[in-house]
């Protein structure tokens, strides 16, 4: 089940921290600032914190904030550039405040470029300022109309915004080289893209303030210079007469005359000011009309637009939306521990019991886990009300009916020989799961490594146990000790193998029919003594009575104390019968000793194969496979006997050559189906 895309809300500082953490992850590929081990540990801690909050299926949104904060905190303590990028810089703030002040100053000195004593009725600066603002208002209305129709311009990172962000890095250009420079550039690019709407509103507000300040500066320039200068106002033109100029002036001041009821300039007044004949009180009237027009058409509308843009900017700064399903979080999704739930059904109750026991060997608190925190949980059909990521049908019979809640999940069907028959084939389960759930492939691979890592660890312990047992057997063959000592060694071996594989007695209590080979083995009784085949009583008696009751362990298991049933008891007993009889003889020739030792190696390998698979399949199936294993063990040991014999003569130490040989023998047998 693929993680559903989730949109989360972040405040500006949280978004900044998340973006900076992503820049660190992308740009610092060599992990110089934060090592990969630290990344993994931080992710694991964030997952544990999410699960402690009660989150059952941890996703990107559940760990994003905490993980980003921890990563940025570590990197900021090691690099000044990251520390500077961690918080918003003051460059943008000073620029937002400085530009309107600069526009005000420019407006104050604008008219001094021309004659300081004249006010032109047809002033080019006035007409330019008014015309430009009217064009801007028309463009704003057009954009608003397009937005209502659903047509919006595609947002792209602003070059100005990226430039401002890069200026936050301390130390000049030298600090922008190497990993720090790559991190700063990546952060600037993505932060600009994420905050484009807010920056657009901020830039819009600043531009409106600049326009208002420009108009106010022009108006203030006229008023302030009027304190010390006597204005001559009027007009002059080569192509326009008084009537045409009167029409232009009337249109120009229409907003003032309509809103405030001011008397417009008459044709006579306009004609009287031709060639700048007006002055004094009439000039003052013209200046106030000039200032009022600037305030009404430029200053007030621009201030209102700036306030509107500032309000929208403030709203955008409250919360940011972030889509955790985007490709920007692919790296986090790959590193994030998976939380998989698999429903399992089996063809028969016996297979269900075996599968449950097999999964229990690898489960910790009901889940298979990895070092990175991945979890794989299995539930039975009795818990079918829960939705699952995949359904597992195991066995060789017809697939049982699945609960309705599992119908939408992909179905994985595995035969008993494909999975479970041997631990070397367990990877098939995870390969099939990865194919069914490609979005969870990284987590499944880590779970597979954890699963097989446990199998390898158990196998390694078994090899040590087998090697110690065989070295003891080699010493026994070269001594005058009795069969009772061999029975004790077998019991220690069996008990150790059972503990390593988590085998308990209730797995194999049902009575079974002996296979023909086992029946034949059990029917033979050397020296007409009673046989104790596969019973705990026989094993205990053999260990206690020793040589005096050698008949009890003639074909006994020596240490099989679980009541595994007649079939398995006869199988394991048959592997030791010849060795027991040989040890009871007082005189042994050299050839017999070597053959005795080889039989002991065969017996130990066979016991491992039986007990290692006893919890992986119904015991009857293990019994049926026993004959094949015994034959393969005989052939494989014979093929490696020269090396095995040489290794048995070497005293066990830190580098015991016997263990690699046993690994080769046993893996070769288990790998062959």
The verdict on 528 and 486 lying in the same domain is: yes
- Tell me: pLDDT of 667 over 50: yes
- Residue 519 pLDDT > 50: no
Examine the fold and report which residue of 318, 349, 368 is the final residue of a domain before the chain moves on. 318
- Judgement on whether residues 405 and 340 belong to the same structural domain of the protein: yes
Q: Which residue has the tokens 């020296």?
A: 527
Of 548 and 621, the one with more pLDDT: 621
pLDDT tens for residues 177-196?
678 888 888 888 888 788 88
pLDDT at 9: 87
Higher per-residue pLDDT: 555 or 176: 176
Nearest CA among 407, 25, 353 for reference residue 186:
25
**Banded model confidence at residue 159, pLDDT cuts 50, 70, 90:** low
CA atoms of 513 and 565, how far apart (whole Å): 9
Which pairs with CB-CB distance under 8 Å and at least 24 residues apart come from 615-618? 615/354, 615/357, 615/358, 615/361, 615/501, 615/502, 615/503, 615/507, 616/354, 616/358, 616/420, 616/421, 616/422, 616/423, 617/351, 617/354, 617/416, 617/420, 617/421, 618/350, 618/351, 618/354
Mean pLDDT along residues 207-219: 89
Are the CB atoms for 264 and 96 separated by under 8 Å?
A: no
Contact 190, 23 (CB under 8 A): yes
What is the three-class DSSP state of 233? strand
Provide the residue count of the chain: 673
Contact by Cβ (8 Å): 579, 525: no
pLDDT at 521 exceeding the cut of 50: no
User: Are residues 416 and 490 both part of a single domain?
Assistant: no
Lowest mean pLDDT among 78-92, 441-455, 502-516: 502-516
Position 574 scores a pLDDT of 59
**Cβ(157)–Cβ(189) under 8 Å?**
yes
3-class secondary structure for 159-226? HHHHHHHHCCCCCHHHHHCHHHHHHHHHHHHHHHHHCHHHHHHHHHHHHHHHHHHHHHHHHHHHHHHH
CB 580 within 8 A of CB 573: no
Work out the number of other CB atoms within 10 angstroms of the CB of residue 418: 15
What's the pLDDT score for residue 161?
Answer: 59
Asked if 439 contacts 3 with a C-beta cutoff of 8 angstroms, the reply is yes
Residue 426 lies in a domain: yes
Choose among 503, 434, 464: nearest CA to 604. Answer: 464
Query: 506 and 614 share a domain?
Result: yes
Between 3 and 243, whose confidence is greater? 243
Domain count within the chain:
3
Last residue of a domain, one of 378, 413, 437: 437
Q: What is the mean pLDDT of residues 455-479?
A: 90
Tell me if 24 sits within 8 A of 317, measured CB to CB.
no
Evaluate if residue 554 carries a pLDDT over 60. Answer: no
Say if 291 falls within a structural domain. yes
User: Is residue 497 domain-shared with residue 619, that is, in the same domain?
Assistant: yes
Interatomic CA distance for residues 259 and 250, integer angstroms:
14
Chain centroid to Cα 99, Å, comes to 44
Return the minimum-mean-pLDDT range out of 74-78, 449-453, 547-551, 573-577.
547-551
Query: Which residues constitute the domain of residue 240?
Result: 91-169+201-318
Of 162-171, 381-390, 408-417, least confident by mean pLDDT is 162-171
Regarding predicted confidence, which is higher, 427 or 268? 427
Two structure tokens written together for 406: 């599992």
- pLDDT confidence of 165, banded at 50, 70, 90? low
- The predicted model gives 49-67 an average pLDDT of 87
Show the CA angle centred on residue 476, arms to residues 472 and 479, nearest 5°.
140
Q: Report the interhelical angle of 36-52 vs 60-76 (nearest 10°).
A: 140
Residues 165 and 251 in one domain: yes
Give residue-wise pLDDT tens across range 106-133: 888 765 544 556 667 677 777 788 888 8
**Least confident among 372-376, 582-586, 609-613, 668-672:** 582-586
SS3 414: strand
Give the phi and the psi of residue 390 in degrees, each rounded to 5: -155, 155
Last residue of one domain, picked from the residues 263, 284, 318: 318
What is the predicted pLDDT for the residue at 463? 95
User: Is 138 among the domain residues?
Assistant: yes
Cα dihedral sign for 611, 613, 618, 620? negative
Mean pLDDT on 456-470: 94
Let me know whether 518 and 621 are in one domain.
yes
Q: Which residue has the higher pLDDT, 585 or 499?
A: 499
**381 and 523 part of one domain:** no
Residues 387 and 516 in one domain: no
pLDDT band at 661 (very low <50, low <70, confident <90, very high): very high
In this predicted model, which residue has the larger pLDDT, 176 or 237?
237
pLDDT at 602 over 50: yes
What pLDDT, on a 0 to 100 scale, did the predictor assign at position 577?
66
In this structure, which long-range contacts are made by residues 173-179, counting pairs with CB atoms below 8 Å and at least 24 apart in sequence? 175/80, 175/81, 176/81, 179/27, 179/28, 179/30, 179/32, 179/33, 179/79
CA atoms within 13 A on the CB side of 573: 35
* 285-295 confidence digits (pLDDT tens): 777 887 888 88
- Mean pLDDT score across all residues of the chain: 76
Pick the range with the lowest mean pLDDT from 38-42, 103-107, 558-562. Answer: 558-562
Per-residue model confidence (pLDDT) at position 303: 93
The closest of 476, 432, 430 to 450, measured between CA atoms, is 430
Say if 64 falls within a structural domain.
Answer: no
Q: Which residues contact 237 (CB under 8 A, 6 or more apart)?
A: 122, 245
Is the per-residue pLDDT at 537 higher than 70? no
Proportion of the chain above pLDDT 70, given as a percent: 75
> Which tens digit of pLDDT belongs to each residue from 393-436?
988 888 888 888 898 899 999 887 788 778 888 899 999 999 99
Question: Are the beta carbons of 466 and 608 closer than 8 angstroms?
Answer: yes
Residue 523 lies in a domain: yes
> Is residue 442 scored above 50 in pLDDT?
yes
Spatial CB neighbours of 143, under 8 Å, sequence gap ≥ 6: none
Those residues whose C-beta lies under 8 Å from the C-beta of residue 141, and which sit 6 or more positions away, are none
* Residue 640: pLDDT over 90: yes
- At 168 the pLDDT is 55
Q: How far apart are CA 343 and CA 541, in angstroms?
A: 46
Same domain (yes/no): 491, 433: no
8 A C-beta contact, residue 81 and residue 75: no
User: Do 491 and 623 fall into the same domain?
Assistant: yes
Residue 514 pLDDT greater than 60, yes or no: no
pLDDT tens by residue, 297-325: 899 999 999 999 988 888 877 777 888 88
Q: Look at residue 285 and tell me if it is in a domain.
A: yes
pLDDT of amino acid 662: 95
Position 471 scores a pLDDT of 92
- Say what the pLDDT of residue 532 is: 28
CB 436 within 8 Å of CB 410: yes
Same domain? For 226 and 275 the reply is: yes
Instruction: Judge whether 455 lies within some domain.
Output: no
pLDDT value of residue 536: 33
As a whole number, mean pLDDT of residues 580-586 equals 65
Residue 469 lies in a domain: no
Q: pLDDT grade, residue 535 (50/70/90)? A: very low
């Amino acid at each position: 089940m693929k993680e559903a895309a989730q949109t989360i809300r972040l405040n500006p500082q949280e978004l900044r921290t998340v973006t900076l953490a992503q820049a660190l992850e992308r740009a610092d590929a060599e992990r110089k600032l934060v090592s990969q081990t630290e990344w993994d540990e931080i992710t694991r801690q964030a997952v544990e914190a999410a699960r402690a909050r009660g989150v059952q299926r941890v996703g990107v949104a559940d760990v994003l904030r905490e993980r980003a904060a921890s990563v940025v905190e570590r990197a900021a303590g090691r690099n000044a550039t990251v520390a500077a990028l961690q918080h918003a810089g003051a460059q943008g703030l000073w620029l937002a405040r400085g530009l309107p002040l600069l526009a005000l100053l420019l407006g104050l000195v604008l008219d001094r470029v021309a004659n300081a004593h004249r006010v032109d009725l047809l002033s080019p600066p006035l007409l330019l300022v008014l015309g430009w603002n009217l064009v801007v208002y028309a463009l704003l209305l057009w954009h608003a109309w397009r937005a209502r129709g659903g047509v919006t311009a595609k947002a792209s990172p602003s070059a100005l915004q990226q430039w401002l962000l890069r200026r936050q890095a301390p130390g000049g250009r030298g600090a922008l080289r190497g990993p720090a420079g790559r991190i700063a550039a990546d952060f600037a690019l993505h932060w600009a893209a994420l905050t484009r709407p807010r920056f657009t509103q901020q830039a819009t507000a600043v531009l409106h303030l600049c326009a208002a300040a420009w108009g106010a500066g022009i108006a203030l320039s006229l008023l302030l210079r009027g304190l010390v200068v006597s204005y001559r106002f009027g007009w002059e033109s080569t192509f326009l007469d008084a009537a045409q100029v009167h029409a232009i002036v009337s249109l120009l001041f229409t907003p003032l005359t309509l809103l405030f009821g001011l008397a417009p300039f008459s044709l006579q007044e306009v004609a009287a000011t031709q060639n700048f004949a007006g002055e004094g009180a009439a000039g003052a009237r013209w200046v106030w009309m000039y200032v009022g027009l600037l305030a009404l058409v430029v200053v007030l509308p621009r201030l209102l637009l700036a306030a509107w843009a500032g309000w929208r900017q403030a709203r955008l700064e409250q919360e940011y939306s972030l889509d955790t399903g985007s490709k920007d979080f692919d790296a986090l999704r790959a590193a994030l521990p998976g939380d998989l739930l698999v429903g399992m059904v089996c063809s028969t109750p016996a297979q269900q019991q075996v599968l449950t026991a097999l999964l229990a060997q690898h489960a910790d608190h009901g889940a298979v886990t990895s070092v990175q925190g991945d979890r794989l949980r299995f539930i039975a059909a009795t818990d079918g009300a829960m939705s699952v990521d995949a359904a597992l049908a195991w066995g060789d019979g017809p697939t049982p009916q699945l609960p309705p809640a599992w119908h939408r999940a992909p179905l994985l069907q595995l035969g008993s020989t494909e999975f479970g028959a041997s631990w070397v084939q367990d990877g098939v389960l995870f390969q099939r799961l990865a194919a069914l759930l490609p979005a969870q492939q990284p987590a499944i691979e880590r779970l597979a490594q954890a699963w097989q890592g446990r199998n390898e660890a158990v196998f390694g312990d078994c090899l040590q146990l087998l090697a110690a047992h065989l070295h003891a057997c080699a010493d026994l063959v070269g001594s005058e000790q009795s069969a009772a000592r061999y029975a004790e060694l077998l019991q220690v071996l069996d008990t150790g193998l059972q503990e390593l594989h988590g085998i308990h007695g209730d797995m194999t209590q049902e009575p079974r029919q002996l296979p023909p080979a086992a029946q034949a083995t059990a029917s033979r009784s050397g020296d007409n003594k009673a046989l104790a085949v596969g019973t705990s009583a026989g094993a205990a008696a053999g260990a206690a009575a020793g040589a005096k009751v050698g008949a009890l362990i003639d074909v006994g298991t020596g240490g099989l104390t679980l009541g595994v049933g007649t079939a398995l008891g006869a199988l394991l007993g048959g592997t030791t019968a010849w060795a027991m009889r040989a040890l009871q003889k007082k005189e042994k020739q050299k050839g017999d000793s070597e053959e005795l030792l080889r039989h002991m190696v065969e017996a130990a390998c066979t016991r491992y194969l039986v007990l290692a698979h006893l919890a992986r399949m119904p015991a009857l199936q293990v019994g049926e496979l026993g004959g094949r294993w015994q034959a393969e063990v005989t052939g494989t040991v014979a093929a490696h006997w020269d090396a095995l014999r040489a290794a048995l003569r070497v005293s066990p130490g830190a580098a015991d050559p016997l263990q690699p040989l046993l690994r080769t023998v046993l893996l070769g047998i288990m790998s062959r189906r």
